[in-house]
Each structure stands twice: as C-alpha cells, then as structure tokens.
Amino acid sequence: MSPNEPRQRVERVAGSRRAKLTPAPGAVPEVDVIEDPADDDDAASASSSGGGPNDERMWREVPPHY
C-alpha cells in the first residue's frame, strides 16, 4: 500500500465514547433496511396470543443457584 492511496480514517464523535470509521475505499455503502409494517403486526399478534402450554410453568420455575 503506497502512502498516496486513500485510507479508512477514525473520526471522533462528540458526546460519544465510541469513534466512527469512515467508509473504506471501494466499499459498498450501507443500505437502510425498510421494515414492512405487516411484519410488525404478525410479531405483535404472536406474542400476545397467550403463549404455549408450558409458559406458566416456565415463569414459576427458579434456577438452582437462586
């Protein structure tokens, strides 16, 4: 790698404990994922459906180290 080639850099982020890296040369830019609202409805209905037959027993059990 020659000194004239572009490189990835570290940037400080104000108010944050973590730094941010600039995109690497030749890298594909990040793609924002668009969530489908229909998927959210399916997940919400599955979690509120009352659960499975062993859910109540699972919540009552205490691990042996307690």
Q: List, for residues 25-39, the tens digit of each pLDDT value.
A: 888 877 666 666 555
Whether residue 19 contacts residue 12, with contact meaning beta carbons closer than 8 Å, is answered with: yes
**Shortest CA distance to 25 belongs to which of 39, 4, 43?**
4
DSSP 8-state code for residue 38: H
Instruction: Dump pLDDT digits (tens) for 4-27.
Output: 778 889 999 999 889 998 888 888
Q: 7-10: long-range contacts at Cβ-Cβ below 8 A with a sequence spacing of 24 or more?
A: none
Would you call 45 exposed, middle or buried from its count of C-beta atoms within 10 A (0-12, 13-18, 19+)? exposed
Global pTM reads: 0.34
Largest CA distance in the chain: 65
